[in-house]
Amino acid sequence: MAENVITARDLDLTFQTDDGPVFALSKINLDVAEGEFVSFIGPSGCGKTTLLRAIADLEKSSSGTLTVNGMTPEQARLARAYGYVFQAPALYPWRTVERNVGLPLEIMALDDQAVRIQRNLDLVNLTGFEKKFPWQLSGGMQQRVSIARALAFDPKLLLMDEPFGALDEIVRDKLNQQLLELWDRTGKTVVFVTHSIPEAVFLSSKIVVMSPRPGRIIDVIDSVLPRKRTLDIRETSEFLKIAHRVREGLKAGHSYED
């Protein structure tokens, strides 16, 4: 059995607001093994993004334990253990594509920057766009640049927060396919936040179903689908069975009620 990359035990996270406390995460228990592709799925307000941000040390947990690579999230962040892909590409508009991808390399003062930039642009099929500025690219291409940027310093862990949420379904399908190929080739551990059931089932080796008020985990599904998949797999009965279980989990968490 592979080593645990992420371990959460009885994790609580409460935001203090003017309207009183908001229980964003409650009693979260989670294990993510090395090389897994884990999706957090749930409606808005279920804490899936908060959980990802807690793993990234962008939010602090209130109680319980959370370890990333056996360290606290802060130590992991200081050790630059993960690459993070945001909801929006968050590219720096004054930097060309290659300089955006090179940004973490500059900050970490790593060697072979040109080689790394080339390799990662190649990985997201953007060779030839090095000198373009972000506004010259489509939304899908911009998000691929941000993925190349997250991978540029070769972190073992990739955290993705609804990276394709703003894209249309056709582009999204294509990027999902490419992301799976990338995962297969690089063997990275991926934690992926989404609110699309087909996306979660198609991509993941493990699906974490969450529900709001308080944000908690309803179900954890280990996928029986093979590691290598094509979009056609979405027509198979195994796929539909898993999607059904996700939907049942969401229903049990009152996600479909007002």
Partner 1 sequence: MRIDFAKGSVFPVAVVCLVILVLWYLAAIPMNAIVTQPKIDAAGGGLYNTLLLSWNHERPVLPAPHQVALEVWKTVFMVAPWKVKSLVYHLWITLSSTLVGFILGTLLGVILAIGIVHVGSLEKSLMPWIIASQTIPILAIAPMLIVVLGKTGLPDIFTKASISTYLCFFPVAIGMVKGLRSPDKLQLDLMQTYNASASQVLWKLRFPAAMPFLFASLKVSVAIALTGAIVAELPTGAVSGIGARLLQGSYYGQTLQIWAALFVAAFAAATLVWLLGAFERMSWKRMGVKP
Residues of this chain that bind partner 1 (CB under 8 A): 56-58, 77-78, 80, 82-84, 86-88, 90, 92-96, 103-104, 106-108, 133, 135
Q: 64, 42 in Cβ contact below 8 A?
A: no
List the structure tokens of 211. 């529900």
Task: In angstroms, give the least distance from the CB of 131 to partner 1.
Answer: 9
Three-state SS at 224: coil
CA 231 from centre of chain: 20
How near is the Cβ of 90 to partner 1 at its closest, in Å? Answer: 4
CB of residue 193 to partner 1, shortest distance in Å:
14
Q: How far is CA 163 from CA 110, 141, 159, 194, in A?
A: 26, 12, 10, 8
Query: What is the nearest approach in angstroms of partner 1 to the Cβ of residue 99?
Result: 10
* Beta-carbon count within 10 A of 134 CB: 19
Left (φ > 0), alpha (ψ -120 to 50) or beta: where does 95 sit? beta
Rounded to 5°, angle at Cα 170 from 164 and 176: 50
> Which residues make beta-bridge pairs with 194?
41
Q: How far is the CB of 82 from partner 1 (least distance, A)?
A: 7
Q: Which is nearer to partner 1, 82 or 202 (CB)?
A: 82
Distances from the Cα of 85 to the Cαs of 56, 138, 193, 213, in angstroms?
11, 17, 10, 26
CB of 250 to partner 1, least distance (A): 27
CB 110 within 8 A of CB 144: no
Q: Which is nearer to partner 1, 94 or 230 (CB)?
A: 94
Q: Which one, 15 or 92, has the nearer CB to partner 1? A: 92
Compare residues 108 and 231 and give the one whose CB is closer to partner 1. 108
Between 42 and 155, name the residue whose CB sits nearer to partner 1: 155
SS3 188: coil
Please, which residue, 128 or 226, has the CB nearer to partner 1?
128
The nearer residue to partner 1, 92 or 256, going by C-beta atoms, is: 92
Local structure of residue 223 (DSSP, 8 states): -
At closest approach, how far in Å is the CB of 135 from partner 1?
A: 5
